[in-house]
């Protein structure tokens, strides 16, 4: 079982550039008087460094939360990128495989794109383009609105 806890909030600009090729693989981040060592050589951070905006709906990731995962007794520190939507809800930004892993898509950066979790869920394992995902998402919002309406 693992439990995740948020321990700090950062500006993406103070985090993501340290994931670039040539940077040390671990970077220390200070929160209050404590220093946390975070592994930075992750493909996901590099993707967000090059594009932090959902390719489908266009929401921009602008908050980086430092999390600690306690897996058994080992602590693992990592960042998640979030966007704040119009209702101030946090939306997790994810890396989407353009051709899904399911269908033989590779893990290479050329097969990855930034998507918010809502669009990514709509895309699923399909080959839908970002535009198609956005159309489906808008239809769902309209359907939800219509279902709520009582005339």
Which residues are near Zn ion by CB under 5 A?
Answer: 54, 56-57, 116, 119
Closest distance of CB 17 from Zn ion, Å: 24
- Smallest gap, in angstroms, from Cβ of residue 54 to Zn ion? 3
Closer by beta carbon to Zn ion, 52 or else 56:
56
Return the number of the residue (19 or 120) whose C-beta is nearest Zn ion: 120
Long-range contacts of 89-92 (CB under 8 A, 24+ apart): 90/63, 91/59, 91/116, 91/117, 91/118, 92/116, 92/117
Cβ closer to Zn ion: 25 or 126?
126
Whole-angstrom Cα distance, residue 87 to residue 9? 19
Helix-then-strand count for the chain, H and E: 3, 7
- Shortest separation between residue 61's beta carbon and Zn ion, angstroms: 10
């Amino acid at each position: 079982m693992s439990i995740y806890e948020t321990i700090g909030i950062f500006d993406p600009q103070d985090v993501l550039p340290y994931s670039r090729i040539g940077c040390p693989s671990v970077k220390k981040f200070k929160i209050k008087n404590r220093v946390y060592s975070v592994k930075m050589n992750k493909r996901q951070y590099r993707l967000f460094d090059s594009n932090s905006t959902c390719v489908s709906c266009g929401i921009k990731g602008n908050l980086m939360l430092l999390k600690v995962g306690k897996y058994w007794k080992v602590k693992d520190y990592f960042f998640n990128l979030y966007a704040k939507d119009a209702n101030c809800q946090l939306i997790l930004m994810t890396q989407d495989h353009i051709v899904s892993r399911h269908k033989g898509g590779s893990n290479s950066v050329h097969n990855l794109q930034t998507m918010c979790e809502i669009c990514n869920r709509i895309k699923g394992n399909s080959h839908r383009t970002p535009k198609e995902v956005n159309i489906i998402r808008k239809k769902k919002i309209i359907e939800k609105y219509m279902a709520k309406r009582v005339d």
